[in-house]
Amino acid sequence: MKRVTLGLSGLNVFPMALGTADYGLPRIPQADAFRQMDLYAQLGGNVLDTAEVYSNWVPGEKSRSEKLIGQWLKQSGLSDGMHISTKGGHPLFESMDKPRLSNAQLDDDLKRSLDNLGIERIDLYFLHRDDASRPVDEIVDYLEEKKQAGLIGAYGLSNWTLARVRQAADYAKRRGITGFSVNQIYWSLARINPDAIADKTLVPMDVAFHQYHVDTGMAAMAYTSQAKGYLSKRHLAQAIEPDLSAQYEGTHNDAVIKLLSPWCRTNQCDPSQAVLWWFMAQPFAAVPVVSPRTLAQLQALMDAVNAEHPPLPEGLPAW
């Protein structure tokens, strides 16, 4: 089984995490979600990525994703072998401009996640957003306290600016602790047009952030790692929705598909598989989070990670 050490987190993980944001919604109902997790585990996967807020953007039951994962862990008996990555500290959807990173708010989110998942310790706990008005030392101290209490293992951040990541790393170094060990970031081989990101609290990978990961070895987990299928649709000459086109059209991605498409035809693969190999070739631990809709899609992605593959075409961008 393929494994990669996720930076300083100490976690040995499958090189691809299973994203579960739509679990319990019409796109991935409970039965399908269970079948996905079954297949993922059978083929060597061991990282389920979720969040306390997943599904909370629709009316009805809250935290459907975490709750379904909790039910599956209990039913499958695989809780010991599966690493759970979840997140707290997300703003309320009706007030995205108001941070929720006070100790009391984080306590509430963490307790709900533990209860939803039915576990006593979360292997990798992310802060879903930042609060730039709060000193980073207070935030790191809070998470370190929860780590020492055994409620969380490693901790990470998502959608923080590089400046704040550097501040947190400097503080952790002064304290003599690991601090944040993983950055979950908006990243794919198909580069997003930042102006087209509707949610301005999201932080995409850029050249400076990528160089920081190279220089420090900080691990990354990439969300929207398949760029919503943009490269595959380009490769197959399928229709591309206007919003997806606005997010990914540009000379950079034109150059990527020009290199990748003939290579994929020669090697009888899809760009979605090549994207995984590109992440696996990064000079630091870079684990893509994927959210396939069907078991066939998940099977193809798992097969790609587990297979030997030819060298990627020369000239693909570093980030």
CB of 114 within 8 A of CB of 153? Answer: no
Task: Give me the phi and psi of 315, to 5 degrees please.
Answer: 100, -5
Residue 312 within a domain: no
pLDDT of residue 248: 98
Report yes or no on 313 lying in a domain: no
**Phi, psi (degrees; rounded to nearest 5) at 25:** -100, 170
Domain total in the chain: 1
pLDDT tens-digit readout, 92-128? 999 999 999 999 999 999 999 999 999 999 999 999 9
Q: Does residue 186 sit in helix, strand or coil? A: strand
Mean pLDDT of the chain: 97
- Cα–Cα nearest to 65, from 35, 39, 42, 34: 34
* Residues in a beta bridge with 186: 204, 223
**In this structure, is residue 56 part of a structural domain?**
yes
Interval 162-194: pLDDT, tens: 999 999 999 999 999 999 999 999 999 999 999
* Tokens 């003939």, located at residue: 262
| Confidence band of 301 (pLDDT split at 50, 70, 90) | very high
For residue 110, report the phi and psi dihedrals to the nearest 5 degrees.
Answer: -65, -45
Cβ burial, residue 101 (10 Å; 0-12/13-18/19+)? buried
Does 115 fall in a domain? yes
* In a domain? residue 52: yes
In this structure, is residue 46 part of a structural domain? yes
Return the higher-pLDDT residue of 23 and 1: 23
Q: Would 290 be classed as within a structural domain?
A: yes
In a domain, 132, yes or no: yes
Decide if 130 contacts 168 (C-beta within 8 A): no
Q: What is the gyration radius of the CA atoms in the chain, in angstroms?
A: 19
State how far the Cα of 30 lies from the Cα of 316, in Å rounded to an integer: 38
The residue segments making up the domain with residue 302 are: 4-306
Is pTM beyond 0.85? Reply is: yes
Write out pLDDT tens, residues 205-248.
999 999 999 999 999 999 999 999 999 999 999 999 999 999 99
Give per-residue pLDDT as tens, 56-99: 999 999 999 999 999 999 999 887 889 999 999 999 999 999 99
Q: Return the pLDDT at 15.
A: 98
Is residue 101 left, alpha or beta, with left meaning phi > 0 and alpha meaning psi from -120 to 50?
Answer: alpha
For residue 249, count other CB atoms closer than 10 A to its CB.
16
CATH number at residue 189: 3.20.20.100
Pure H helices in the chain = 30-42, 64-76, 103-117, 136-148, 162-175, 207-216, 230-235, 242-248, 251-267, 271-280, 295-306
- Give the pLDDT mean for 49-56: 97
> Which letter, b or e, does each residue of 255-285 get, where b requires 16 or more Cβ atoms within 10 Å of its Cβ?
ebbebbbebbeeeebbbbbbbbbbbbebebb
